[in-house]
Structure 1
Amino acid sequence: MVVGAGNSAVQVAAELAQVARVSLASRAPVRFCPQRPLGRDLHFWLTLTGLDTAPLGRLQRRPATMAVIDDGRYRTALAAGRPERRPMFTAVDGLALTWADNTTEKVDTIILATGYRPDLDFLAPLAALDPTGRPLHRDGALLTHPRLAHVGLEWQRSLSSASLRGVGRDARRAARRIARELRSR
């Protein structure tokens, strides 16, 4: 059983389904985005249009979920039932899953590929947090402590903030902001 509906979950489940019986459980159906729209890689278009770096993070009340970037093989694998996509189970007891119809099923392995949501409550003594638990910041620097910064949060500044291609850009912005703060003291 692989749990999740994002890139990692679908990719892991599809690869495992080549050699084993695999189910993919998720709360919602898997959404797909083409890997190569108009013959070019999706990341080319995100860069060309500026969407990859556009400071849209401030506009996000709740970070948007991403579709699975697919060249066609994952959609094909799911359509063929390899892996089988199932609605989320309702309970887990060891390796026994309970489904919505109250039936149970034993599985050999459960792989959680559910992504992450930062749990930043420990910052509460230092930082004001928004309703979703994310620290209030400007370019990564905490509003309550401008010499303390973070990077890598989903939609911190842009679509790519939580990825390798975006975290460096956000880290440079945070470092410049902290340097300005230190010079002003």
Structure 2
Amino acid sequence: MAAELANVARASLASRSPVRWFSQKPLGRDLHFWLTVTGLDAAPFGRFQHRPATMAVIDDGRYRAALAAGRPDRRPMFTHINGSSVTWTDSAKEDVDAIILATGYAPDLGYLTPRNALDEASRPRHRDGTSLTHPRLAHVGLECQRSLSSASLRGVGRNARRSARRLTLALGRSWH
């Protein structure tokens, strides 16, 4: 999105670490093709992964070129927001018109009580998306919930169907 915005406005990409790139077309085919054909996209690796993987930007070359050209520029994540001003890591302050936060979110689920509903990293305790502490609660869209694609548009629908089936079975109802 930052590269598209940089075509019409001054834009900065603020991130906690440098951008990691992954080719969108390894071996000449789209990455999603390979993930689907190999079954990696839906494989239930989630329960074995204790921390979400750091994701690379899947790119056909356009975004890497835009960033290399400084459109947008890349900066370390700002440290503070005060009204319409951000403070960068070098203490410089800059007025901004808008901030768009995208990707890399960690769920804030502190309202789930008791506290044992969350693990030591404040992630929900679950198995394949079904809460281990609240029998009528299911999660969708969590990183590594069930598969590598759980937190993506490709995987969330699969997880939502699975969670809906499990909840309706637990409630003793049929689901189609």
TM-score range, shorter chain: 0.7 to 0.9
For 2:54, what is the secondary structure of its paired residue?
coil
Report the alpha carbon displacement of residue 127 of structure 1 after superposing the two structures with TM. Answer: 6.2
User: SS state of the match for residue 34, structure 2?
Assistant: helix
Q: What is the aligned partner in structure 2 of residue 159 from structure 1?
A: 148
8 A Cα contact 1:127 1:142, kept in partner? no
CA RMSD, aligned part only?
2.2
For residue 62 of structure 1, report the CA deviation from its aligned partner.
1.8
Q: Does 1:90 align with 2:79?
A: yes
Aligned letter for 2:27?
Answer: L
Q: Structure 2 unaligned segments of length 5 or more: list them.
A: none
> What's the CA shift string for 1:98-150, capped at 9, x where partnerless?
23333322233322224422222222239632112222222322223434322
Classify the secondary structure of the residue corresponding to 2:122. Answer: coil
55-64 vs 103-112, which moves further = 103-112
Structure-2 separation of matches of 1:138 and 1:125? 17
Query: SS of 1:69's equivalent?
Result: strand
Moved more, 111-120 or 67-76: 111-120
Q: 2:111 aligns to what SS in structure 1? A: helix
Matched, 1:49 2:42: no
Counterpart position of 1:71:
60
Of 78-87 and 114-123, the range deviating more from structure 2: 114-123
Task: Tell me if the contact between 1:32 and 1:68 (Cα under 8 Å) persists in the aligned partners.
Answer: yes
Pair 1:81 & 2:66 matched: no
Matched residue, 1:21: 10
TM superposition outliers: structure 1 runs of 4+ over 4 Å: none
Superposed, 1:1-185 pairs within 5 Å as 12-125=1-114, 128-182=117-171
Check the 8 A contact 2:15/2:75 in 1, yes or no. Answer: yes
Q: Distance in 2 between matches of 1:172 and 1:106?
A: 44
Change (3 A) 1:76 1:146: same
Q: Deviations over 1:21-59 (max 9, x none)?
A: 222121211111111111111111111122111111112
For 1:3, the equivalent position in structure 2 comes to none
- Tell me the amino acid that sits aligned with residue 128 of structure 1: A
- The separation in 2 between residues aligned to 1:174 and 1:127, in whole angstroms, is 21
Change (3 A) 1:170 1:91: closer
- One-letter amino acid matched to 1:133: S
Mapped to 2, the partners of 1:16 and 1:81 lie a distance apart of 12
Point out the more displaced range, 140-149 or 26-35: 140-149
Aligned to 1:8: none
1:38 maps to amino acid: L
Shift in Å, 1:83: 0.7
Q: TM-score when scaled to structure 1?
A: 0.81
Query: 1:4 aligns to what?
Result: none
Structure 1's unaligned 5+ residue stretches are: 1-11
